[in-house]
Structure 1
Amino acid sequence: MNGEPAAGAMDGPGVKAVLFDLDNTLIDTSRAGAEALRKTSELLKSTLALDDQTISIIIDKFKQKLFQESFDPSAGRSIDEVRVGHWQESIQEAVGSCSSPSLAAQCYYLWKNSRLQALHLSPEICDLLRKLRHRYKLLLLTNGETQTQREKVEAVGCEEFFDAIVIGGEHSEQKPFVSIFTLCFNMLEVKAQECVMVGDSLDTDIQGGVNAGVRATVWISRAGGAVPGGSVQPDYTISTVLDLPDILDQLS
Structure 2
Amino acid sequence: MDGKAVKAVLFDLDNTLIETRRAGGVAIRKTSELLKSTLALDDLTVSSICDKFKQKLFHESFEPSAGRSIDEVRAGHWEESIQEAVGSRSTPSLAAQCYYLWKSSRLEVLSLSPEIRSLLKQLRSRYKLLLLTNGETQTQREKVEAVGCEEFFDAIVIGGEHPEQKPSVSIFTLCFNMLEVEAQDCVMVGDSLDTDIEGGFNAGVRATVWISSGGGAVPDGSVKPDYTLHTVLELPDVLAQLKTETS
Q: TM-score, normalised by structure 2?
A: 0.98
Whether 1:56 aligns to 2:47 is yes
The AA in structure 1 aligned to 2:90 is S
The AA in structure 2 aligned to 1:117 is E
Partners in 1 of 2:150 and 2:185 — Cα distance? 22
Whether 1:168 aligns to 2:159 is yes
Q: Where does 1:60-79 land on structure 2 (aligned, <5 Å)?
A: 60-79=51-70
User: Partner residue of 1:4?
Assistant: none
Mark the runs of 5 or more structure 1 residues left unpaired by the alignment: 1-7
The size of the alignment, in residue pairs, is 243
Aligned with residue 12 of structure 2, among 11, 21, 26: 21
Aligned with residue 118 of structure 2, among 127, 147, 150: 127
User: Among the aligned pairs, what percent are the same residue?
Assistant: 82
Aligned with residue 136 of structure 2, among 134, 141, 145: 145
Q: What do you get for the CA RMSD once the two structures are aligned?
A: 0.6
Aligned with residue 154 of structure 1, among 145, 149, 161: 145
Q: TM-score, normalised by structure 1?
A: 0.96
Partners in 1 of 2:117 and 2:43 — Cα distance? 39
SS at the partner of 2:228? strand
User: Partner residue of 2:222?
Assistant: 231
Q: Deviations over 1:3-61 (max 9, x none)?
A: xxxxx4xx331000000000000000000000000000000000000001100110000
Q: Deviations over 1:62-93 (max 9, x none)?
A: 00000000000000000000000000000000
Whether 1:111 aligns to 2:113 is no
Mark the runs of 5 or more structure 2 residues left unpaired by the alignment: none
Partners in 1 of 2:63 and 2:235 — Cα distance? 36
Deviation >4 Å, runs of 4+: none
Partners in 2 of 1:194 and 1:129 — Cα distance? 18
Superposed displacement of residue 98, structure 1: 4.9
Q: Deviations over 1:84-136 (max 9, x none)?
A: 00000000000022511110000000000000000000000000000000100
Q: Is the Cα–Cα contact under 8 Å of residues 177 and 208 in structure 1 kept in the other structure?
A: yes
Q: Is the Cα–Cα contact under 8 Å of residues 182 and 212 in structure 1 kept in the other structure?
A: yes
Superposed displacement of residue 226, structure 1: 1.1
Partners in 1 of 2:94 and 2:104 — Cα distance? 15
Q: Point out which structure has higher relative CO (alpha carbons under 8 A, 6+ apart).
A: 1
Partners in 1 of 2:218 and 2:236 — Cα distance? 21
The AA in structure 2 aligned to 1:24 is N
Partners in 2 of 1:249 and 1:136 — Cα distance? 12
Whether 1:194 aligns to 2:189 is no
Whether 1:91 aligns to 2:82 is yes
Partners in 2 of 1:41 and 1:169 — Cα distance? 29
